[in-house]
A and B are shown apart, each in its own frame.
Chain A
């Protein structure tokens, strides 16, 4: 069975600092991996996805993530945090061809002025 673990339910960084949100997955087959962002009282918006092409995936809003098979990780990074990045971030995994996503528990990102 697939699963996703997000390390740290709450991450706080200063504006302009590096953002690192951690995600580890478990899957018996090559996975598809996703990062979604959720702003308060809104739906989820896709930041980026990995579909077995390039291991370094660039997304919207300056975010990127690197798929590391040896570490079963898909950590999300942004070089310089902006106040508007404050939100909840969810990592998710699916099997190739599967219709369903398995979500991690989410990480709330707070940006300090």
Chain B
């Protein structure tokens, strides 16, 4: 089945130690998104790629970076994680030719910062 895959599902890192989260998709969608979701809150969009074009949200901290080496993969890099960065990180994809663009979400990576 076509899907959005996130690895790892659970990630533990130390305060200030860089961490990379991975997302891959078999849907061949041209748009990929990264969201941060803290407990009992709605997902918050960090950035998205429209094809190779990177679109950063205005309030996304510089500590968060992203790479999209090809259509299928997208990475979220947190350069110096702080305790406040502990959250669920969700990857999503969409195809811009759809009417009523639907985003398809991966299972998420839960990040713990010690």
Contacts and interface: CB of A to CB of B under 8 A. Distances in A.
B100 A43 contact: no
B48 A99 contact: yes
Interface in B12-66: 31, 40-43, 45, 48, 50, 55
Interface string A77-113: 0000000000000100010111111011110100000
B49 to A, nearest CB: 10
A44 interface: yes
B48 A103 contact: no
B103 interface: yes
Contact of A105 (B41, B94, B99, B103): B41
Contact of A99 (B90, B96, B105, B107): B96
Interface residues of B, number: 27
Interface string B78-100: 00000000001010101010011
Interface in A52-67: 52
B43 A99 contact: no
Given A43-B90, A43-B108, A99 B41 contact: no
B4 interface: yes
Interface string A9-35: 000000000000000000000001010
Contact of A98 (B43, B92, B101, B102): B101
Nearest to B57: A100
A98 B94 CA distance: 11
Given A34-B100, A43-B4, A51-B99, 12 more contacts: A41-B88, A43-B107, A44-B43, A44-B90, A50-B100, A52-B100, A90-B42, A99-B48, A100-B45, A103-B42, A106-B40, A106-B41
